A and B are shown apart, each in its own frame.
Chain A
Amino acid sequence: MKRYFTVSIVLGIFLGLMLPAKGLQAQEKHTLSGKVMDAQEGEILTGAVVRVLEGSDAWTLTDSRGHFVLNLPEGPLKLEVSYIGYETRTQEILLDKNKDTLLFLKPLSYYLEGVTVFAESAGTRLRRAEMSIERIDAEVIRRVPTLFGEVDLLKVVQMLPGVQAASEGSSGFHVRGGSPDQNMILFDNATLYNVSHMLGFFSIFNSDAVNDMTLYKGDIPARFGGRLSSLLDVIPADGEGRFSVNGGIGLISSKLAVQGSVAGDRLTYLAAGRRTYADLFLPLAKNELVKNATIHFYDLNGRIRWRINDNNYVYVTLYNGRDKFAVSDMGVKFGNSVAAVNWNHTFSDRFFMKLHATYTNYDYEFKGSTNEMEMEWVSRIRDAGMRLDFSYMPAPEHLFEFGYTSNFQWFQPGKAKGIGELESGVQIEQDITMSRRQGFVNVLYFSNEHKLFNEKMELRYGLRLNRFDNVGPTTFYRVDENYNLIEEDGQDIPSGDFFHHEYGLEPRLGISYLISPNISIKAAYARTLQYVHLLSFSSAGSPMEIWIPSSPCIKPQSSHQVSAGVFATLFRKDYEASVELFYKDLDNVLDFKDHPNLLLYDKIETELRFGTGKSYGAEFLVRRNKGALTGWISYTWSRSFRTIPGVNNGRKYRSPSDRPHNINLVLFYDISSRLQASLNWIYATGQPVTLPEGRYWFYNELIPVYTERNSYRIADYHRMDASLTIKLGNMNRRWKNSLNISVYNLYGRKNPWAINFRMKPTGEQYLEMTYLFSVVPSITWNFSF
């Protein structure tokens, strides 16, 4: 109970901080709220200083949505809004009632309009102490050429520097040499464990329901944690005030979204859905199994934003999506359900609070029947979370953030049941149940962003204090140092028993220095801990993935990462360029023994092996943010290795993500007001593979002999995609429609997806690759009104 006592004290301190803030509001005042935006592009400006020059000494910073709120005495006042790289603006306002205003800042130099490549301005990125961060808004996601006409956020993520796709067509990705399970993916702060539709060809994110996403590649803010390599924070889109409908009809899927508001703009809503109908084409297949199969997915998104008053906003996000594959009397269904409620409260112009409550459910089920028996196999992951974030700005130079997060995780790795009747008429019932495993993670965090030397330097430091608990009921299997079971039957832990715990400290540190208005240097250190682990060797988004929490025999994975870089804006901020170096040291990273048993096997501790890892590399990026031609090109050089006793005879080996050279080119070109073209090209060194070097006979087969894991590479991966969007009809009318033509793998590169060993009749062995895609054209009609 000590933990709850501690939490109560901390909450008490937080509440204590709130009270004086409330006290300040006791006198008669009005609220001045607003949004600060770029005058040319309309993009939001985060961290702009809004200061009252006359009538009060109040000031505040705009938040991540460009919003600010000030509580001020009634009367005339002069407001100053400043932001690096923009002209400072002053404005006189008569505050005779609560007011909401839009403030536009002009860039120091003016440029032509064009697509905003990134959700943040170049100036913001330059001065922030945060590094290794990529923010992308929905417009970019929508413009990237698509596979089967379906826009996919995660395919865009895979084209960012330092990020590589886990395999062809997959939703999984590696960040700076990490494995796919080392990426935390949040959707409106809810933790997601499997984000794939249709074996990973699509992700669960409907672009109509996404506002933007931020990828933290290592320098993760102190309020976040839980994974070693990265955090992908996906922010859902809010409905806009005017009722509107937009949709798209593609070759294998269609989607529809409606949005609007009620009660003025106090409550906005957005509902979006999409459904695939790939199975309509299956009767054309030659394979009988495929011909009669069912294969589709759907997902539904809902979002409500309720502005209770200027100091209180409530956001509700709902998601439900499901895939179904079936043939004859057997089938598999899987999917996610997500609910998130966020309450943003402004205590004063310097003190804010965000309370998040989230719930995620991922499950899959197989069902089948034979003459004798009906069978069912289910697996489920649930995660219930709460996060309380406070932001406090005692002075323009400081932004303190502190809070508490708590997540309870339920893992039911597998439960199979069969009921039937024998020929003799005897009823039979069979059960295979893997023990439920539960984890409880509680975290206190604190951080400060400290601006120094007239805001030329920014220092960011923070700390997370974690406590992880294993909670019963479960059966716990203890293994010795050779991974042999100490007790064959394990130890039964009663329900509610906190039978094991771990503490962890995660310091975070970042510094940036603005050498000139156009150049900054940055460095960061981050320690991260991971208490949940993926038991799957799939790199393609298998629905049958199993996650388990740490336990007495499965230590938390940990990582130290240092990174440093130079960031610059060039040619009057038309271009940005950056070079980042990183080095990661990993501990307790997990791999499997050779030929592990992961299928409905409860004593999983005997199949795992633990060791260390290292990743290092350099990322080079140039991007153009303005003009008719925008986009980016990046080159990443990186290496990633593992050393795990029991794997590869304990010798160092390449991790599956060790692909030294990676180039991403993404271009958007506005040919005219009606025509938009996009093109991307990806190149990556071939994936490491293990090849045999010898063979011998056994049971009329030639058994391969390996000497080194991942010591060879398959052919390099490269692919070009292109798309053309044609806006149809009268563009000034409310009814708008457009045609998007995409070609995936434009020049038909046969990229290996799987490698298998074959033998000629002469006994000579050769390798055969399976490739998934040749040229894949698609067409989608989009509309809105």
Chain B
Amino acid sequence: MKYTKIIYTVILLLTVLGGANGCTEPIELEGDDMNPKLVITGTLSTEPGYQIIEISSTVPYFGTDLPVNIDAARVLLNDMVLIRDAPGIYTTGGNFAAVEGETYLLEVWIDFDGDGQEEYYSATTTVPYIHVLESLSVRSLIPGEVDVPFILLAGFQDTPGEDYYGAALWINDDLYSNRILRYYVHSLNDYSQDGSYIRYPIPEWILTESLVWDNGETYDLYSGDVLTVELQTLSKEYYRFLQEAKIEKNQHFPLFSGPRGNVTGNITGGALGIFGSYAVSRKSAILPKCPGLPER
């Protein structure tokens, strides 16, 4: 992950330098509208709670309409009927926890094409094992100092073989990783760290006085704020989906970016979306007093 940080920094540097003379402006270019496609998304977590499956339809990319949920005829999870909670939202109930190592089958029946016949869609996921987040510390990026910018160091024991990790950040009680671009994904398999005790900075969150937030606003940090990291061990298909979705939502530049492409899902029957699972572990740390951060 340290390499990833360096790579991102250098890419940022090259991009900034490369685009130093560049500007942006909106352009008029629109694609055609595609026929609507069914979308099924949902995840299972090892943490007890509502596990949600959402069913919706795509809308034209360049239109003003936002995707809306649609109801299915039946939604089953390992033969358990899921409860319709709202249009297109199906849940397990409030105290369901996915079991590590168990494989779950999601089945959906819906007449999406309106021909009077229900189509069948399904997907499976095997819940990964929990990797306990054993330590979380706040470290300055400036050698020898305690000041912003900070970075979070997560410590946990990796297991040999392929493991896929995600991480979400809460600041006090706010989920900062409420968008995929502020969520962290990474895999560990054949690097030298595989099976080692891992301790590395999470490059996604460079903590300064104010962080990027929604709609051009900022999220201000203060000394004493509680930072909680949720380390998620992801199922392989969910990791891939998250990673590709993140690539699609990031900026593209000719220097580094590959061709655009669809995010790979695992729903059979021709629907888009993902049915994945993850195992959860949490740890918190406190932002220290320092010259660069105000106090509340």
Contacts and interface: CB of A to CB of B under 8 A. Distances in A.
A537 B3 contact: no
A404 to B, nearest CB: 39
Contact of B14 (A325, A702, A706, A761): A325
Interface in B29-45: 29-34, 36-37, 39, 41
A704 interface: yes
Contacts of A289: 12-13, 16
B108 to A, nearest CB: 15
A537 B259 contact: yes
Contacts of A418: 2-3
B66 to A, nearest CB: 5
Contact of A700 (B7, B178, B254, B256): B178
Contacts of A199: 14, 17-18, 255
Interface string A686-712: 000011111111111111111101111
Contacts of B39: 696-697
B9 A330 contact: yes
A293 B245 contact: no
Contact of B10 (A366, A703, A768): A366
A698 B59 contact: no
Contact of B260 (A600, A690, A752): A690
Contact of A330 (B13, B33, B67): B13
- Residue of A431, A705, A715 with highest tally of chain B CB at under 10 A: A705
A312 interface: no
A594 interface: yes
A557 B80 CA distance: 53
Nearest to A705: B58
Contacts of A373: 2
A692 B244 contact: no
A377 B11 CA distance: 14
B141 interface: yes
Interface string A370-384: 111101010000000
Contacts of B114: none
A754 interface: yes
Given A602-B190, A758-B26, A769-B27, A705 B255 contact: no
B192 A691 contact: no
A199 to B, nearest CB: 5
Contacts of B63: 764
Interface string B52-70: 0010111111111011000
A655 to B, nearest CB: 11
Contacts of B23: 750, 770-771, 774
A703 B180 CA distance: 10
Nearest to B153: A372
A540 B255 contact: yes
A599 to B, nearest CB: 7
A108 interface: no
B272 A753 contact: no
A705 B29 contact: no
Interface string A744-777: 0000001011111010011111111111111010
Nearest to B255: A540
A15 interface: no
Contacts of B7: 366, 377, 599
Contacts of A602: 190
A706 B260 contact: yes
Interface in A537-577: 537-540, 542-543
A596 B258 contact: yes
A285 interface: yes
Given A375-B3, A705-B61, 5 more contacts: A702-B67, A711-B31, A714-B27, A769-B24, A770-B22
18 contacts: A330-B13, A331-B10, A368-B10, A370-B143, A370-B201, A371-B144, A418-B3, A432-B192, A540-B253, A691-B29, A699-B183, A699-B245, A703-B263, A705-B37, A753-B254, A767-B27, A767-B28, A770-B22
Q: 7 closest pairs, A vs B, by CB?
A: A594-B261, A691-B31, A693-B34, A694-B58, A537-B258, A696-B39, A692-B61
